[in-house]
Amino acid sequence: MHPLYLYNTLTRKKEEFSPIVPGKVGMYTCGPTVYQYATIGNMRSYVFADILRRVLEYNGYSVKMVMNITDVGHLVSDADEGEDKMLVAVGREKKTPWEIARFYTEAFMKDAALLNILRPTALCYATEHIEEMLQMVVELVEKGYAYETSDGIYFDISKFPAYGQLSGIRLQDQLAGARVEENPEKQHHADFALWKKAPKEHIMQWPSPWGMGYPGWHIECSAMSRKYLGDQFDIHTGGVDHIPIHHENEIAQSESCTGKIPARFWMHGEFLLVDGGKMSKSLGNTYTVHDLVTKGFEPLAFRYFCFSAHYRSHLNFTWPALESAQKGLRSLRTMVQRSSRGPEKPGAEEKMGRFRELFLESVNDDLNMPKAVSVLWEAAKADLGPGLARLAGEFDRVLALDLVKGPADEDKVLELSELPPEVQALIEERRLAREAKDWAKSDRLREQLREMGYQVKDLKDGYEVTRIP
Ligand code: AMP
Ligand code: ZN
The string of pLDDT tens digits covering residues 352-384 is 999 999 999 999 999 999 999 999 999 999 999
- Class of the 291-306+314-407 domain? mainly alpha
pLDDT tens digits along 170-225 = 775 565 444 555 678 999 888 999 999 998 888 889 999 999 999 998 999 999 99
Establish whether residue 239 lines the binding site of ligand 1, counting it when its CB lies within 6 angstroms of any ligand atom. yes
- In the reported structure, the alpha carbon of residue 46 is separated from the centroid of ligand 1 by a whole-number distance in angstroms of 9
DSSP strands (E only) in 224-365: 233-239, 263-269, 272-274, 315-317
Query: How many Å apart are CA 57 and CA 65, to the nearest integer?
Result: 11
Q: Compute, in angstroms, the gap from residue 150 CA to the centroid of ligand 2.
A: 26
| Domain spans, the chain | 5-269, 291-306+314-407, 412-467
Rounded-to-integer distance, Cα 387 and Cα 405, Å: 15
Instruction: Tabulate helix, strand, coil % of the chain (nearest 5).
Output: 45, 15, 35
- Counting beta carbons within 10 angstroms of the beta carbon of residue 375, is it exposed (0 to 12), middle (13 to 18) or buried (19 or more)? buried
Expressed in angstroms, the distance from the first to the final Cα of the chain is 37
455 Cα–ligand 1 center, Å: 39
Alpha carbon of 409 to ligand 2 centroid (Å): 41
**Which ligand has an atom closest to residue 68 CA?**
2
Ligand 1 pocket member 271 (CB < 6 A): yes
Nearest residue CA, atom 10 of ligand 1?
239
Which residues in the chain land under pLDDT 70?
73-83, 172-182, 410-413, 468-469
d(CA 31, CA 238): 8
Which atom belonging to ligand 1 lies closest to the Cα atom of 242?
Answer: 12
Q: Is the CB of 73 under 6 A from ligand 1?
A: no
Ligand nearest to the CA of 243: 1
- pLDDT at residue 464 in the model: 82
32 CA distance to ligand 2 middle (Å): 9
Q: Where are the beta strands (DSSP E) in 3-109?
A: 5-8, 13-16, 24-29, 62-69
Pocket test for ligand 1, best of 9, 34, 39, 45 (most atoms within 8 A of CB): 45
Q: Whose CA is nearest to atom 11 of ligand 1?
A: 239
If you take atom 18 of ligand 1, which residue's CA is the nearest one? 41
CA distance 82 to 77: 6
Q: How far, in Å, is the centroid of ligand 1 from the Cα of 272?
A: 9
For ligand 1, whether the C-beta of 387 sits within 6 Å is no
Task: For ligand 1, atom 9, name the residue with the nearest CA.
Answer: 239
CA 180 to ligand 2 center in whole angstroms: 27
- Whether residue 384 has its Cβ less than 6 Å from ligand 1: no
Q: How far is the CA of 199 from the centre of ligand 1 (A)?
A: 29
DSSP state of 33: B
Best mutation site among 42, 50, 302 for ligand 1 pocket (most ligand atoms within 8 Å of CB): 42
C-alpha to C-alpha distances, 94 to 86, 91, 100, 105, 126, nearest whole angstrom: 11, 6, 9, 17, 22
Its pTM stands at 0.86
Ligand closest in space to the Cα of 247: 2
For ligand 1, atom 3: residue with the closest CA:
33
- Our answer on whether the CB atom of 247 is closer than 6 Å to any ligand 1 atom is no
pLDDT score of 338: 87
**Residue 279 alpha carbon to ligand 1 centre in Å:** 11
| CATH (one of 3.40.50.620, 2.40.30.30, 3.40.50.2000, 3.40.640.10) for 5-269 | 3.40.50.620
Measure 30 CA to ligand 2 centroid, in angstroms: 4
78 within ligand 1 shell (Cβ under 6 A): no
Return the ligand 1 atom nearest residue 270 CA: 21
The ligand placed nearest to the CA atom of residue 287 is 1
